[in-house]
Amino acid sequence: RAKSSDDQQICLYDKGMDDTIRKRRQLVDELRLAIQGDQLELHYQVQMNVPNETVAGYEALVRWNHPTKGMLPPNVFIPLAEQTGLIVMLGEWVLRTACHEAASWSSGLPVSVNLSPAQLTTPNFVEQVQDILLESGLAPQRLELEVTETTFIADQKKAISVLERLKALGISISVDDFGTGYSSLAMLRAFPFDKIKLDKSLIDDIDNNYKSKGVFRAVLSLGDALSVPILAEGVENKEQLAFLLEHGCQLVQGYYYGKPEPFSAPGKVTFVEPDKKKIS
């Protein structure tokens, strides 16, 4: 529908904006229903302890099985959930589901769950976590919560106190996407972390870029100095793995070892217990 006059072009532009807003609103409504209904699911990605080739645990990653759009990745709806406050409900669903599913794994391996900043400052968050652990029967030592640096920008004091209460329950805390934020070093000093997850962007060209190598070595020695283990995210090939191992990084997560995949409860068709999966 080609239009020639300027007026009509402005009209078209406005209509486009309208469309965007309408579509966004619709997606928000659909997401609310998806959380309350059964359209969300968790996929799990393996975390390897490389030197002895054992599974260290699994990270739970949420997907939205949308009725018409198919399986949507989190980058399509997590930001939307965060902007609209739906993240609190979504996050609670993720935590509950991950704890229940992990409680049924015969391996007894730990599960990592991503937290959005808003969850941590939800009133009674610690009690909520405690309740979910109790009802699912998952030992707190098997739960790892992943937080990002943005969590600490808003209210440091509050965040520290919540993390400390979670740790007192036996839960461990990882800092996710390390190296992508703004206050990494100050934050490492102030917060009680049990693990640092190094962002994929710092791993990507590690096998052929001397600057990436340098940054990586520096972070490893930082981990060493703080006695906090480093996990490398997004490892895709042998060359990267070789470099990591050579420098003493033992924990690895990435497509090289496996993509996130669904864990289905017994009774469903595609039963593959992730911890029983052969790692090669």
248 binds ligand C2E (CB under 6 A): no
- For 204, other C-beta atoms within 10 Å of its C-beta total 15
Q: Which is nearer to ligand C2E, 21 or 111 (CB)?
A: 111
**Is residue 146 near Mg ion by the rule CB under 5 A?**
yes
Q: Contact 129/171 with Cβ under 8 angstroms?
A: yes
Contact indicator for 217, 207 with CB cutoff of 8 Å: no
What is the β-pairing status of strands 40-49 and 251-253? antiparallel
Nearer Cβ to Mg ion (30/82): 82
Interacting residue with Mg ion among 144, 149, 176, 275 (CB under 5 A): 176
Interaction of residue 229 with ligand C2E, rule CB under 6 A: no
Residue that the structure tokens 């100050």 belong to: 186
Site for ligand C2E in 124-163 (CB under 6 A): 146
Instruction: State which H helix or E strand residue 143 sits in.
Output: strand 143-147
Contact flag: residue 238 with ligand C2E (CB under 6 A)? no
* 75 is a site residue for ligand C2E (CB under 6 A): yes
- What is the smallest separation between the CB atom of 262 and ligand C2E, expressed in angstroms? 12
Residue owning tokens 């309408």: 22
From candidates 47, 97, 114, 151, binder to Mg ion by CB under 5 A: 114
- Residue 177 lies near ligand C2E (rule: CB under 6 A): yes
Burial of 256 from C-beta contacts in 10 A (0-12 / 13-18 / 19+):
middle
Candidates 12-20, 114-122, 167-175, 206-214; binding stretch for ligand C2E (CB under 6 A): 114-122
Task: Please give the Cα distance from 13 to 146 (Å, whole number).
Answer: 41
**Binder among 177, 206, 252, 274 for Mg ion (CB under 5 A):** 177
Tokens of 102: 């992990």
Which tokens go with 42? Answer: 């968790």
Binding site for ligand C2E (CB under 6 A): 45, 61-62, 73-75, 78, 91, 94, 114-116, 146, 176-177, 233-236, 253-255, 260
